[in-house]
Amino acid sequence: MIAIIKYNAGNIASVKNALDRLGYPCIVTDCESDILNADKVIFPGVGEASSAMQYLQKRNMDVLIRSLKQPVLGICLGQQLMCAHSEEGDVDCLNIFDARVRKFPPEDIVPHMGWNNLQQTRGQLFSEIRGDEDYYFVHSYYCELSEETVAVCDYILPFSAAMQKDNFNAVQFHPEKSAASGTKLLLNFLQL
Amino acid sequence: MLKKRIIPCLDIKEGRTVKGVNFIDIRDAGDPVELAKRYVKDGADELVFLDITATIEKRKTLVLLVERIAREINIPFTVGGGINSLEDARAVIIAGADKVSINSSAVKNPELIRNIAMEFGSQCVVVAIDSNFENGMHRVYVNGGRIPTERNTLDWAQQAEKLGAGEILLTSMNKDGTKSGFDIDLLSLVGNALNIPVIASGGAGTKTHFTEVFRQTRASAALAASIFHFAEIPVPELKKYLLNNNIAVRL
């Protein structure tokens, strides 16, 4: 069973729809035992960092997420919340990745919205995926490059498009909305 | 590099696509989901569904359709047409739409932009503007381009950005349906003044119109309906052409 963490950041339905299409049983849940017992955990999210962190802390879900031992995949805001700190609402985050989240400088159109290719992909998430595939991004804040970066995207500046440390994986783009290339990446995660 | 987006627009009435569609290889071209899947396969970057149903049953039918689309489609899609309130927006977003497009309702009540953005984020809010150039002024029209307002298009687009719009879908009424090319003047004027993505709409007739709009304006995306529906310009052929002309697109 795959657990999709339910919290105050939507559009979680699209992740569930993607897993349904791939035939993987999943539940959208905020129940601690469901999450702890899941084979894999997806931490999705579209929303604002400081209110999302507040929500998680109030329910002790920050501690729960950090303690997970099974493969975890953060998506979009999920990846940002797994970093050390976000400029969005000036908030300390889960500190799984040793990177900060910053706002894009207004040197080009913000949000970074649309399809962009990755560079320097590595690791199991990108196994047997061409290095220059396009994925769908939509975000105004970005995760800095760090030791945990496993894919780089360039928009205004180079940033972490994907990160990985131990069992924690994360992507800034939306694999569930990235057509065939996103499906391949989700399958790679589901087969970890 | 961030790619320029190609966005087919589907008009929906009572849960069915309107306008004849002559893809020979889909069983039911009147089914928005079948047509949408075909566009995904062809490499469309996003889809817009515009509901033109006028009945009271509208929202229920639309929400059911949005749920079906969301289950089947793995690219982002926008739903517009008659979203008059935060409740309307919430219903289609919860049903699975990635974005809502608001037009007349935003002109009547600009706070609606802020309210949707506050609850779901700016990336969810597309403000659609129908603009007509007349007597030396770009004028905003509402109610499907039938009623003129006192608003100037550039001012309104800038106000929408400040209120939290994530994107502007800008349709030139002078160009719409003419197949004589996008409205470069209008799109340059608005695109240069904003720092959010602008989607060009109205006037697409040939492949060169797309290279023009992407070379001469800051448009992030181009939307069209009939040239795609009638397969005058299939999406894969357009994208190949753009790529050969050094416009970055996703293949």
List chain A domain ranges.
2-190
pLDDT of res. B20: 47
Residue B94 DSSP SS3:
helix
Nearest chain A residue (CA) to B219: A109
pLDDT of res. B120: 86
pLDDT of res. B18: 79
The predicted model scores a pTM of: 0.95
Mutation site, A26, A50, A115, interface B, largest B CB count within 10 A: A115
pLDDT of res. B92: 93
pLDDT of res. B54: 67
Question: Residue A10 pLDDT more than 70?
Answer: no
Helix intervals (H) in A59-190: 61-67, 77-81, 179-190
A13 touching chain B per CB within 8 A = yes
Percent pLDDT > 70 in chain A is 99
pLDDT of res. A48: 85
For chain B, residues with pLDDT lower than 50 are: 20, 22
Instruction: Summarize the confidence of residues A74-81 as an average pLDDT.
Output: 96
pLDDT digits (tens, 9 = 90+) for B122-143: 999 999 999 999 999 999 999 9
What residue type is assigned to position B25 of the chain?
A: D
Residue A131 makes CB contacts below 8 A (sequence gap 6+) with: A118, A119, A120, A121
Read off the pLDDT band of A163 (50, 70, 90): very high
CATH topology of domain A2-190: Rossmann fold (3.40.50)
B45 and A114: CB-CB below 8 Å? yes
| Domains along the sequence of chain B with CATH | 5-244 (3.20.20.70)
A109 and B197: CB-CB below 8 Å? yes
Q: What mean pLDDT value characterizes chain A?
A: 95
Q: How far apart are CA B105 and CA B127, in angstroms?
A: 10
- Residue A76 appears among annotated catalytic residues: yes
User: A151 phi and psi, to 5 degrees?
Assistant: -160, 140
Q: What is the DSSP letter of A152?
A: E
List Cα–Cα distances, A191 to A97, A118, A124, B161, in angstroms: 23, 21, 10, 42
Question: Residue A105 pLDDT more than 80?
Answer: yes
ipTM score assigned to the predicted complex: 0.94
pLDDT-wise least confident of A1-15, A126-140, B117-131: A1-15
pLDDT of res. A21: 96
pLDDT digits (tens, 9 = 90+) for A50-72: 989 999 999 999 999 999 999 99
Question: Residue A83 pLDDT more than 70?
Answer: yes
Mutation site, B1, B41, B124, B250, interface A, largest A CB count within 10 A: B250
pLDDT digits (tens, 9 = 90+) for B240-249: 999 999 999 9
A14 and B93: CB-CB below 8 Å? no
Q: How far apart are CA A3 and CA B131, in angstroms?
A: 46
